[in-house]
Amino acid sequence: MSLETLNLQSPVLSPGSLFDANEFDHYVMKTYGRFPIALVKGSGCRVTDNYGKEYLDFVAGIATTTLGHAHPNLIKTVTEQIQKLHHVSNLYYIPEQGELARWIVEHSCADKVFFCNSGAEANEAAIKLVRKYAHEKLDLDNPVILTAKSSFHGRTLATITATGQPKYQKGFSPLVPGFAYVPYNDIGAIENAITDIDEGNTRVAGIMLEALQGEGGVRPGELEYFLRLRKICDETGILLIFDEVQVGVGRTGKYWGYENLGIEPDIFTSAKGLAGGIPIGAMMCKDFCNVFEPGSHASTFGGNPFACAVALTVLQTIERENILQNVQQRGEQLRTRLRAIAMKYPQLCKEVRGWGLINGLELHSDSKITSIDVVKAAMTEGLLLAPAGPKVLRFVPPLIVTAEEVEEAAIKLERAIVATL
């Protein structure tokens, strides 16, 4: 049932307030297929709807609320920073921005950082950087960027073109030229594309990939594939770009997704979990490909004191509280429980895969049951999950999730599966 037909008018937790889904739809563009609940409060890994029903949150704003809801460190930083200074122009030096950039550089392979407001903007910045590098350093008139089929890189015109899924591109043609698509984890396809595209001043200038495809079904990159890819880029001068919007900031059990693959990208992007739910994006690069200069690129809100202070708090909390260890342990626990459930219900469940606390449970393609069906049933049980395509359930809880909460989620999931069978 959609929000078009379901009226959710009911008291919320604030006395005297009402929420009406029909009124919401009257004013808000229907660019989302919303589930029929209205969330109004959260704490840790739990959220509460306007009826007072509590849910275990294994969506985390789609891998965004890194430290969960209402984390005391974030409350402290938000309160202090909003009382001090929340926004000034990038015409001036912003100390909080510099501190955040330093932390990122000291904890990654990057030399320089550009800040913006979202993952799409970070990827847009990376695309622009590759093109400028190609024109200035490679003397190319028509640089091409290879991306993977089933990828997802954002909703701007350039980033939906980069996204290797036609369903996101439908209705928005003409798309941005300069992109070509190859199957993920297929090194032969990369080699063939480089050869086929190479003609005069038209060449592959960049290869943009996710270390683990999130929206494409929670598909981890293969070690051998990425090791060979790094070698190809080194030999040809092609820039290697990693979209880490969903997998960065500790989500995989390491600070950055590329650390799982034994190589370093030339450029990588981050956003979702970087400030734990406060909007921010970042594009990082190595010095040799840093061809941006004043006037090349900009962002009014990018790197503002408020967002940067919160992001720095998120990163410092991950470091000081050894949260990466929790991600590794809880991720292994979750995959073990998911595999046990998959073995118990083989008529529905096909495969479990993932890294750290980004995991997917794939359903059989010939089953009539979809990921949405299970997500809805889990919601009834008090568990929030997100689909990653029509046949994959995605599990991306806050990185502070406990062993007890993982076990509770597994129990609720099994009940949801039984309800759909």
- To the nearest 10 degrees (0 to 180), the angle between helices 305-320 and 72-84 is 150
Asked whether residue 213 is assigned to any structural domain, the reply reads: yes
265 and 365 housed in the same domain: no
Residue 168 in domain: yes
CB 353 within 8 A of CB 338: no
**54: CATH:** 3.90.1150.10
Count of domains observed in the chain: 2
* Residues of the domain holding 228: 72-320
If asked whether residues 107 and 196 sit together in one domain, one would say: yes
Tell me how far CA of residue 114 lies from CA of 51, 92, 110, 284, in angstroms: 42, 15, 11, 6
18, part of any domain: no
Among 287, 320, 353, residue at a domain's last position:
320
In a shared domain, residues 148 and 199 = yes
Residues 242 and 369 in one domain: no
Whole-angstrom CA distances from 356 to 51, 138, 230 are: 33, 38, 23
Please indicate, yes or no, whether residues 182 and 243 belong to a single structural domain of this protein. yes
pLDDT digits (tens, 9 = 90+) for 51-81: 999 999 999 999 999 999 999 999 999 999 9
* pLDDT at res. 18: 66
Query: Do residue 87 and residue 224 come from a single domain?
Result: yes
Interatomic CA distance for residues 313 and 322, integer angstroms: 14
- 380, part of any domain: yes
pLDDT at 20: 84
Alpha carbons 56 and 70: distance in angstroms, whole number = 15
Q: Does one domain contain both 81 and 59?
A: no
7 domain residue, yes or no: no
Beta carbons within 10 angstroms of residue 164's beta carbon: 25
Do 294 and 368 fall into the same domain? no
Q: Is 171 part of a structural domain of the chain?
A: yes
CA distances from 216 to 53, 169, 363, 407 (A): 31, 15, 14, 26
Identify the domain boundary among 271, 301, 320: 320
Assess whether 196 and 301 both reside in one domain: yes
Same domain, 304 and 339: no
Q: What is the pLDDT of residue 22?
A: 86
**Residue 254 belongs to a domain with what CATH number?**
3.40.640.10
In a domain, 176, yes or no: yes
How many C-beta atoms surround the C-beta of residue 325 within 10 A?
Answer: 10
- My answer on whether 304 and 157 are in the same domain is yes
In this structure, how many other beta carbons lie within 10 angstroms of the beta carbon of residue 166? 10
Q: In this structure, are 62 and 78 located in the same domain? A: no
Distance of alpha carbon 381 from alpha carbon 413, whole angstroms = 8
pLDDT for the residue numbered 396: 98
**Integer Cα distance of 8 and 227 in angstroms:** 51
What is the pLDDT, as a whole number, of residue 84? 97
Domain-ending residue, one of 320, 345, 374: 320
Reading the chain (421 residues) residue by residue, the pLDDT tens digits are 333 333 444 434 444 456 788 888 999 999 998 999 999 999 999 999 999 999 999 999 999 999 999 999 999 999 999 999 999 999 999 999 999 999 999 999 999 999 999 999 999 999 999 999 999 999 999 999 999 999 999 999 999 999 999 999 999 999 999 999 999 999 999 999 999 999 988 999 999 999 999 999 999 999 999 999 999 999 999 999 999 999 999 999 999 999 999 999 999 999 999 999 999 999 999 999 999 999 999 999 999 999 999 999 999 999 999 999 999 999 999 999 999 999 999 999 999 999 999 999 999 999 999 999 999 999 999 999 999 999 999 999 999 999 999 999 999 999 999 999 9
* Residues paired with residue 270 on neighbouring β-strands, in sequence order: 282
Sheet with 281-285, side-by-side order of all strands? 112-116, 281-285, 267-270, 239-243, 202-210, 142-148, 179-182
Query: Closest Cα partner for 153 from 208, 115, 96, 101?
Result: 208
Quote the CA–CA distance of 334 and 371 in Å, as a whole number. 18
Contact 248, 270 (CB under 8 A): yes
Residue 375 within a domain: yes
